[in-house]
Structure 1
């Protein structure tokens, strides 16, 4: 993933961890963000 992309801040926190662990954490946080966004959109409608 190139630096300066939108998720650079999210990935930076995981750089010290082994790659599979960092990828797993990032996938979990991305999934939670998607669910939160869907929930907010449901509330707005």
Structure 2
């Protein structure tokens, strides 16, 4: 598991040499933290 701060940085700044682009022009840090929180908690089963 990656630390939340590392994941936030990846969302905002991307990963050079990988398909992950930077999203910092579209998302602020709080929005990136929200995404990381949701991904780490998982999604409820929607049956």
**TM-score after normalising by structure 1:** 0.43
Which structure would you say has the larger RCO, counting Cα contacts within 8 Å and 6 or more residues apart? 2
TM, length-normalised to structure 2: 0.42
More helix by share: 1
